[in-house]
Amino acid sequence: MRPFRFGVALVAPGSRAEWVAKCRRAEDLGYDVVGVVDHLGRVAPVPALLLAAEATERVRLNTYVLNASFHNPVLLARDLAGLDEFTEGRLEIGIGAGYVRAEFEAAGIDWGTPGQRFARVRSAVAEIERAYESRPRPPLLLGGRGDRMLSFAAEHADTVAFTGTAPGAAEGRLALAGPTALAERVDFVKRALGGRDAELNLLIHFIRITGDRRAALEAAHRLVPHLGADELGELPTVVVGSAEAAAEQLLRTRETLGVSYFTVIEEDLTRLAPVIEKLR
């Protein structure tokens, strides 16, 4: 069974001092990976990770995840190779198809069909692999929800990431997959792997470390109204309760699904910290 890894995806831009402090805080709290998102109005991934490398000593650095449609594949491969070199091999590359249509429109990039967006991911991965034909490439994270993307991830990725969202998720509204649906996606990937070993990653969408579990689940229900509080309490992507209970939940998730790598978004940076401490 793989050891746990914990990552945080940093989102908010800010001053150099603020960014350095956040990265160091994540390392001090026991995180294994400091990542950045790739959205308009958020931090710019490549310079942010370069500064994160300068500010930290131990953590891995990842893109969680690059929107393939935002980048020329050849130039992206060049920039990532340079980032890998300047971070002395601490880089992990995450790439996805993008999902916020308004950002495509704001950037003047054709939204296209799902197949066209998937083709951009394939092109980006092909160029990255070509750039590393004669040397080891950084670990690659790919993932999503649909069969096509998960099959591709099972073939190429070192880490397969699950969004934990439902097929009907609309932009601006969080729709989470139930435990049965998520388990089916994990089983799909395990079959597609065909015995190949790959790390499994899951994004935790809601985490509250509290003695009042019911109140926290009701708060989660207000954010995810299509699922009741009791249903949310069964989701691997919702972690609510004491630090001990949360640690036990992640242990169960690793045992039942094989997920060993968990990621939270920046606002949950300190919330996961006591759980990391328990699991160490």
Q: What is the pLDDT of residue 170?
A: 46
pTM above 0.75, yes or no: yes
CA distance 183 to 236: 10
* Inter-residue contact 100 to 169 (CB < 8 Å): no
269-279 and 16-28 helices, crossing angle to 10°: 20
Please say if the pLDDT value at position 168 is more than 70: no
Give the tens place of pLDDT for each residue, 178-212. Answer: 999 999 999 999 999 999 999 999 999 999 999 99
Residue 233's pLDDT band, with cuts at 50, 70 and 90, is very high
Please say if the pLDDT value at position 45 is more than 80: yes
Preceding omega of 36 cis (within 30 degrees of 0): no
Distance of CA 251 to the CA centre of its chain: 19
| Ramachandran area for residue 149 (φ above 0: left; ψ -120 to 50: alpha; else beta) | alpha
Higher pLDDT: 138 or 1? It is 138
Give the tens place of pLDDT for each residue, 90-136. Answer: 999 999 999 999 999 999 999 999 999 999 999 999 999 999 999 99
List, in order of start, the domains of the chain with CATH numbers. Answer: 5-205+244-279 (3.20.20.30)
Give the tens place of pLDDT for each residue, 50-79. Answer: 999 999 999 999 999 999 999 999 999 999
